[in-house]
Structure 1
Amino acid sequence: MTTAERADTMVLGAGIVGVSIALHLQERGRTVVLVERGEPGGETSHGNAGLIERSSVVPYAFPRDLPTLAALASNRSVAVRYSPATLLRMAPWLARYWWNSAPARLDRLGRAILPLIERSIAEHQRWTQAAGTQALMREGGWIDLYRRKGTLEQALRSAKALACHGLAYDVLGPVELAAREPGLVQGAAEGAIHWRDPVTVSDPGGVTRAYAALFVARGGRLLRGDALSAQQDGDGWRIEAGGRDWRTREAVLALGPWSKEFYERLGYRFPLGFKRGYHMHYEIAPESVPRHPICDAQAGFVLTQMQRGVRLTTGIELADRDAPSDPWQLDQAEQVARRRMPVGRRLDAEPWRGARPCLPDMLPVIGRAPQHPTLWFAFGHAHHGFTLGPVTGRVLAEAMIGETTFCDLRPFSAERFSHGYHANA
């Protein structure tokens, strides 16, 4: 009988969250195996706009004003697209999302996640030199475009309301915007807000792979295997991966949108929903390359320079995680984008599609599994997985080691969902 390999912890999932947890545990003296079926950062961590979003101190709330709701209900909005059948199935989830987006509740939720947002850049930067990702990181923030004066004024009022957070931003009229982004088509917007605090990257999947390579260089084990096949083994956990049988004392579930299959097998029921998104890369003349990521606030897409070309990332598609792709949203966003910037031909054979794992209170689940003391959760980061991966790794590692966590983890506890566990499942 083959003797099992042993380690302290297995981390299931090598996206930005899982890789970051593995690195932080390793830095605290734990032996860690990181399990992934493909390349690190090859799924959701690959397909985003590459924003380390320090300025997003308010969670992405459900719209509550009637004009916006009416526009979304038409299902012709470029920013939000939905499958009618999925919308019916998601109705209870959307109702909870809407309820949590009321101003007082949103303020409470924003204060809960603020410590993570505030440290998001610093926790990425702790590995930049060692991982060799300096050339992929760009300072200078990103720019929100507004096509109408009314929406620009409304956005400016919202920005001023964030003064207590000390965020740096510039309000740009058409002349200032043209000077800052000369590649934009003349008259592309009424104005813009340039958020200067965020850091952006030109290859988010590449950054994740570099962090994973750093973990391996420091002695960690990156194993190819099906993370969903991990099983309880007495008080610990076991998995066959990398051609060997492994046993660990603890496990961390960091499988992003695939976490659902694992926790449901153990009897947990969380209201995890999916906001899908697409991206495509485009050719562009050197003189027209965007100097900063540019978001069309109304259409919900981002244009940003990546190593492969200019990437267009779409807004939100409410659909089942694995439902067939629908080209409508990307096609419409591309038409709008061509009126903003002279992007050329498509560079990818097919659009990339991913699913952001979201909970209706806009907070991730981070912490110990209530009914399994040796299992830890880290999923549900919604729009901010790449932003919050390293800082999630830090706070979860602190909790697992028994250190004092730098922020209160109770708002992220799985136990906030009172009906989250069914013993007979």
Structure 2
Amino acid sequence: MSAEGQAVGRDVGAKAVGPWPPVLAGLLAAVVGYGSSFAIVLQGLIGVGATPAQAESGLLALGTMMGLAAVVFGLRYRMPVAIAWSTPGAALLAATGVIEGGFAAAVGAFIVAGALVVLAGLWKPLGRAVLAIPAPLANAMLAGVLLSFCIAPVKAVAEVPMMALPVVIGWVVVTRFARLYAAPAAVVIAALMYALAAYGMLPGSATATFQGGWQWPILEWVTPAFSWSAMVSIALPLFLVTMASQNIPGFAVLRANGYEPPSAPLLVGTGISTLIAAPFGGHAVNLAAITAAICAGPDAHPDPKRRYIAAVTSGAAYVAMGILAPFAAGFITASPPILIEAVAGLALLGAFGSSSLAFLNAPRERNAALVTFVTTASGFSVFGIGAAFWGLVAGGIVLALHRLGRQA
């Protein structure tokens, strides 16, 4: 068929489909993105010292900024540019723990990470330098960060079996039939188990009283503090994880579906969104990787020119979901920590599997990647600098020595 005939066929198909598929796809992307990872984001913010109110503010700031960014990018470029918060970045925060200077120092690191993303969009040498980091090492670092979460479901079953087993079983069953809904289903089942325990309908009792009923969400300003240890422990690894695990795959998804996204404006825009959200507790706004496939794929609409509606819809839904921040924060802080870690671990199993497969399938860099993985997974810190950074350093040294040996 000629190009003209294909265009006519596409227009006829688009009229037959109507305007609702991209709207529904956008709503699905927002529900999956929010429901599958809000527990991880809150766990990460609390892990680096945020109070429940500050974590709630961070969730609201992130949802608002990524929603607005998705709407602006979708309308400006007529592309399904899906935006998300950095789920791997949140896992990194939870693994790092409270640093010297507390949450104020972490917020300072969020600002620096956002500024680095802006700089990567404006200054091409920095963007090329990030891309020059061997992918096996970046994937190994991410896998090392995610490992502690991915074993949490097993620990939860051992510690609170009456609450954790239904969550794990429900996740397995839903994964079999509708993988996209598995993580949200785990969140719903966890909430149900907590409610049953709180009302004495399960052996044992809840560890706290739930205080997260609906109320208007409030943004809470956090005056940032800056320290070298925070820059190296949080800012640099957060920047690298966000670029390697979110932005680069996000561009790849768009290109795989026939789009040519403008990299510089998107990086600058998401970096600025992070800079705005950071003083209110938000850690990183970036391109979506998983939910991008929902918005950019043919299921969203047969006509690629109309799929941007899905991204715009998802953005509007993220802004609307901001009203859920108090409820979500209240649930997370009231539930047994191991149960929340288990839910996060189930949601991150796919990312752990993908990153592990990626670095294990690189035979020339496998040894260096394994060093990066085990160093990062160890969780140790030196001079107040977290394991993610040392993992990259150790793996980079091993890789350099191997390359020198091959050249000799």
Bigger share in helix = 2
Bigger share in strand = 1
TM-score in same-fold range (> 0.5): no
After TM superposition, the score normalised by the length of structure 1 is 0.29
- Structure possessing the higher relative contact order (Cα contacts under 8 Å, 6 or more residues apart): 2
After TM superposition, the score normalised by the length of structure 2 is 0.30
